Structure 1
Amino acid sequence: MSTFDHAGLIKDINANLAPLRQAQPEAMSGFAKLAQASMAEGAISAKHKELIALAIGISQRCSGCIGFHVKALIKLGCTRAELEEMLTVCVYMGGGPALMYASEALAAWEKMQPAQA
């Protein structure tokens, strides 16, 4: 399985963006508000919106997106079966490159799951 550290990547991205948030608070706040409004419960559930966002992250080959959206899906109670079913759609639509990032998403899922007691 992959040794890619998505939790560390998320931490690094947040740290690297901190100066931009300070330098451009209005723009960064606008992006945060857009994300919050877009991902809120509505006609489509927050979990389904996160599945869509992860699918787009995979299709765009964005490791940071994979990390952030896998983390959100775990928090929202997504099951591995739901994740895997969405990943098959990504592979169907995106071919081999999507399969490589599907593998990355599965590795992130495994590493970011809370420890089982």
Structure 2
Amino acid sequence: MLDWKKKLLDINLRLKEMSTRTPDTIKGATLLAGAGAKTGHLEAKMRELIALAVAVTTRCDGCIAAHSAEAVKLGATDDEIAEALGVAINLNAGAALVYSTHVLDAVDSLRHA
């Protein structure tokens, strides 16, 4: 099991180092990260639940650490988090189903080539 607090600290240390080497990249990423909050269409907790689902589908441990911490801070319940993760599971399964049709197409095409 990962030590998620340590993971978050380690990532933040490396990002601080990276910001000295390529400051505009970090500034751009920070600007992008905060852009959604400015529209006011979704509440912060909802954005974090979406971020958790996306973090699972992209398999990003750093994203999981950061957005889990923020979701907890914003009061996301275990049930809300579980529902968001259910969406991620569904999308991964759905993508596998859709891409399975690509395999069938490829096999058919290659057999008849």
Give TM-score scaled by structure 1 length: 0.72
Relative contact order higher in (CA < 8 Å, ≥ 6 apart): 1
Task: Give 5+ residue unaligned stretches, structure 1.
Answer: 96-117
1:14 to 2, 12, 15: 12
In the TM superposition, residue 27 of structure 1 has moved relative to its aligned partner by: 2.2
Moved more, 61-70 or 17-26: 17-26
Larger Rg belongs to: 2
Equivalences, count: 93
What SS does structure 2 have at the residue aligned with 1:73? helix
What SS does structure 2 have at the residue aligned with 1:77? coil
Partner of 1:83: 81
After the TM superposition, which segments of 4 or more aligned residues of structure 1 sit over 3 Å from their partners?
A: none
2:33 to 32, 35, 60: 35
Q: RMSD of the alignment, in Å?
A: 1.5
In the TM superposition, residue 39 of structure 1 has moved relative to its aligned partner by: 3.6
For 1:40 and 1:76, the matched residues in 2 are separated by 17
Cα pair 2:52 2:85 within 8 Å, conserved: no
Task: Give 5+ residue unaligned stretches, structure 2.
Answer: 94-113
In the TM superposition, residue 25 of structure 1 has moved relative to its aligned partner by: 1.6
Partner of 1:49: 47
For 1:65 and 1:29, the matched residues in 2 are separated by 17
Cα pair 1:40 1:46 within 8 Å, conserved: no
Inter-CA distance 41–5: structure 2 relative to 1 (3 Å threshold): farther
Instruction: Report whether the alignment pairs 1:60 with 2:58.
Output: yes
